[in-house]
Amino acid sequence: MEIEFQAKLKKVAVLGAAGKMGSGISLLVVALLAAEKVMLIDTRSEALNDLLHYLKEQLHKKAEKGELSYAQIEHALARVETSTAVASAKGATTVFEAIIEHFPLKAELFLQLDALCGDKTIYFSNTSSIPICKLEKLATLQGRVMGFHFYNPPAIQKMVEVVKTEKTKEEVLALATFLGKEFHKILIPANDVAGFIGNGHLMREGLYAINEALLLEKQIPEDRPAFASSIHALNSITKEYLLRPMGIFQLIDYIGLDVFQAILKVMWEEDQTLHSPLIDQLLKDGVRGGQYPDGTQKDGFLQYTKSKPIGVYELYRKQYLPFEQLQATTEALLDPRPLDHTSCSWKLLLNESPQERERKLSLYFQNLFLLQTPGAKLAKAYLLASRKIALQLLVTGACDDIESVNAVLIHGFHHLYGPINNYY
């Protein structure tokens, strides 16, 4: 433990501690930081009780795996307090902010915290999209705030996007690097542009996928479930053809359509192409995605049983249709001649050495594009679109080099390869 950082760990506060991200961040803070005091703050008191229960359960699991001793757990929990009052953050030396993605609320919270804590406190915001400089300026934090953008779930995901502003002080950067080490995370620097790298790519990719699906829909005879089949087709292209852990519409469901819309709204202020009437319509229909409190997936574009996709929402009938009912239409759209999924699936390639994975990926894409089927063409166009988005992030200044985009897609989204590749 580097002594110079101990002073910054005198009192660590987590705001929004009982939320989806806040609870994971709280676990990391309690389990891995040698903080003298940890203050977990959330406006929902019931949820704070659940949080304490969750922390105990997770720490005991670590003890069972031999990662912590029971004495260490007791010591860790003895330092923890919970509160529903922001005022309990008074005197905090380091603050993690993970309240909902709403600029006025975050700005107001930072103003309150600054008045309570004074001008030495360092802040890390988990915002997914809000430029850090906007929070810094409004709450006059003067170089003491950084984006520390965990991926979901924070305790498991290996990567954090770190975002500094023009004013961020050296000591704040040094603390972020130190925290990254303590939390065992890979830190990827992103620039202070709305959406940063991860959502900068994901939101644009999601809109591209929606647009492609709506174009595909026009090729489907009227008596067929056109919307559901085209969503199903694009989801298959992104999961099975592009060898990803999940298709793009399953990913949007995982994030939540409401969160997807909220992030788009923030990014829209910098790029007015970022809007989806379809997402607005689906939310009006009550199609939201996201998770139940037990972590299982709620229905969104797709329908789920125990988090496993089983069907797709048909916009024009306002009901879910099972995959089996869509199969024939989807297959006619994509003309899926056999792909070599026995030796080349996301799961299989994940366990290969980097050299072997690269060799197999090159071969796989070579063979895929030789097929010349509508599905193969869609997959190729999708890869090119993702590449274009990555280059756009470089041009708009969301990142300094293209390797950072590849790293975020690989470490944050668990892709086997980045958008800048040689597979075309």
Q: Residue 20 or residue 169: which is nearer to ligand NAD going by CB?
A: 20
The residues, ordered by sequence, that sit 6+ positions from 75 with a Cβ below 8 Å of its Cβ are none
Contact 133, 142 (CB under 8 A): no
**How many beta carbons lie within 10 A of that of residue 27, not counting itself?**
23
- Environment class of 385 (CB within 10 Å of its CB; exposed 0-12, middle 13-18, buried 19+): middle
Region from 19-27, 132-140, 372-380, 402-410 binding ligand NAD, contact rule CB under 6 A = 19-27
Hey, which residues between 245 and 264 contact ligand NAD (CB under 6 A)? 255
Determine phi and psi for 347, rounding to 5 degrees. -60, -45
Contact 391, 402 (CB under 8 A): yes
86 forms part of the interface with ligand NAD (CB under 6 A): yes
Residue 150 CB, shortest distance to ligand NAD, in Å, is 6
Q: Residue 152 or residue 211: which is nearer to ligand NAD going by CB?
A: 152
Hey, which residues between 33 and 62 contact ligand NAD (CB under 6 A)? 41-44, 47
**Residue among 293, 258, 284, 274 nearest 101 (CA):** 258
Region from 11-19, 164-172, 301-309, 358-366 binding ligand NAD, contact rule CB under 6 A = 11-19
The tokens for 132 are: 């850090």
Question: Which residue carries 């024009």 as its tokens?
Answer: 316
- Dist CA 90 CA 39 (whole Å): 10
Residue 398 CB, shortest distance to ligand NAD, in Å, is 16
The tokens for 345 are: 């699936």
**Residue among 266, 271, 317, 310 nearest 130 (CA):** 266
Return the residue of 9, 12, 15, 234 that touches ligand NAD, per CB under 6 A.
15
Half-sphere exposure of 195 (CA within 13 A, CB side): 31
Region from 10-18, 163-171, 296-304, 387-395 binding ligand NAD, contact rule CB under 6 A = 10-18
Residue 65 CB, shortest distance to ligand NAD, in Å, is 25
Contact 270, 368 (CB under 8 A): no
The CB-nearest residue to ligand NAD is 19
Half-sphere exposure of 54 (CA within 13 A, CB side): 23
DSSP assigned state of 7: G
Q: Residue 30 or residue 383: which is nearer to ligand NAD going by CB?
A: 30
Rounded to a whole number of angstroms, the CA Rg of the chain reads 23
Q: Residue 96 or residue 208: which is nearer to ligand NAD going by CB?
A: 96
Residue 340 CB, shortest distance to ligand NAD, in Å, is 33
98 forms part of the interface with ligand NAD (CB under 6 A): yes
Site string for ligand NAD, 195-234 (x = CB under 6 A): ----------------------------------------
**Residue among 411, 421, 415, 417 nearest 161 (CA):** 411
Residue 350 CB, shortest distance to ligand NAD, in Å, is 22
Q: Residue 89 or residue 371: which is nearer to ligand NAD going by CB?
A: 89
Distances (CA, A) of 273 to 149, 173, 203, 267, 303: 24, 33, 11, 9, 29
Site string for ligand NAD, 126-165 (x = CB under 6 A): xxx--------------------xxxx-------------
Hey, which residues between 354 and 383 contact ligand NAD (CB under 6 A)? none
In degrees to the nearest 10, what's the CA dihedral of 47, 49, 52, 57?
-90
299 forms part of the interface with ligand NAD (CB under 6 A): no
Site string for ligand NAD, 263-292 (x = CB under 6 A): ------------------------------
**How many beta carbons lie within 10 A of that of residue 284, not counting itself?**
8
Contact 110, 97 (CB under 8 A): yes
Residue 290 CB, shortest distance to ligand NAD, in Å, is 8
Q: Residue 202 or residue 228: which is nearer to ligand NAD going by CB?
A: 202
Q: Residue 105 or residue 328: which is nearer to ligand NAD going by CB?
A: 105
Q: Residue 152 or residue 362: which is nearer to ligand NAD going by CB?
A: 152
- Dist CA 313 CA 266 (whole Å): 27
Residue 40 CB, shortest distance to ligand NAD, in Å, is 10
**DSSP 3-state of 184:** coil
- Chain residues binding ligand NAD by CB under 6 A are 15-16, 18-22, 41-44, 47, 86, 98-101, 105, 109, 126-128, 149-152, 255
